[in-house]
């Protein structure tokens, strides 16, 4: 085999080997990633719930929408919801600073400024991406705001 042919063969072989190694690493990571539901108080409910409040998969944590079901204004509701999100994130081994995505659902878009006032700074100096909408028909349970999020552990 000529030198240039041998060199091309070795280079192509190295590239192929690197690709196989990367694919094997990805497959191994996928095997490790499993869905885990984080139950309140660490106990699975007796009856199958309608949805799970906290689910993790690999290094991602998904927090279901949380509302505030008491009398109060948008600032009180937003503070309560963000405090609850923080508790749940910490239960799952994450934090507000590790949140990647937030969805905010407002009962009325007129509450946008008040919600923002309470939201500002709660996720650290590099806040997550966010979508905010006014929910047609309102928020279940008469909450003025509902928030869900995705974070990393």
Tens of pLDDT, residue by residue over 72-107, are 999 999 999 999 999 999 999 999 999 999 999 999
The overall pTM is greater than 0.85: no
Name residue 63's beta-bridge partners: 54, 149
Coil vs helix vs strand at 132: strand
Q: Residue 24: what pLDDT?
A: 47
Least confident window among 40-44, 45-49, 135-139, 140-144:
40-44
Hunting for tokens 């095997």 — which residue is that?
31
Q: Residue 43: pLDDT band by 50, 70, 90 thresholds?
A: confident
pLDDT in tens, 127-147: 999 999 999 999 999 999 999
Whether the CB-CB separation of 68 and 140 falls below 8 Å is answered with no
Largest CA distance in the chain: 83
Fold of the 35-152 domain: 60s Ribosomal Protein L30; Chain: A; (3.30.1330)
């Amino acid at each position: 085999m000529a030198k240039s042919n041998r060199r091309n063969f070795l280079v192509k072989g190295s590239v192929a080997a690197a690709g196989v190694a990367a694919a094997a690493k990805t497959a191994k990571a996928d095997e490790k990633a499993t869905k885990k539901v984080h139950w309140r108080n660490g106990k699975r409910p007796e009856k199958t719930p309608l949805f799970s409040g906290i689910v993790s998969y690999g290094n991602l944590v998904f927090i279901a929408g949380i509302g505030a079901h008491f009398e109060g204004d948008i600032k009180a509701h937003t503070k309560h919801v963000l405090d609850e999100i923080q508790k749940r994130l910490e239960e799952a081994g994450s934090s507000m600073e590790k949140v990647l995505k937030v969805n905010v659902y407002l009962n009325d878009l007129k509450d946008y400024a008040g919600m923002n006032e309470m939201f500002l700074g709660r996720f650290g100096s590099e806040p997550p991406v966010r979508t905010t909408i006014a929910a047609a028909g309102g928020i279940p349970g008469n909450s003025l705001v509902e928030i869900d999020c995705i974070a990393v552990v």
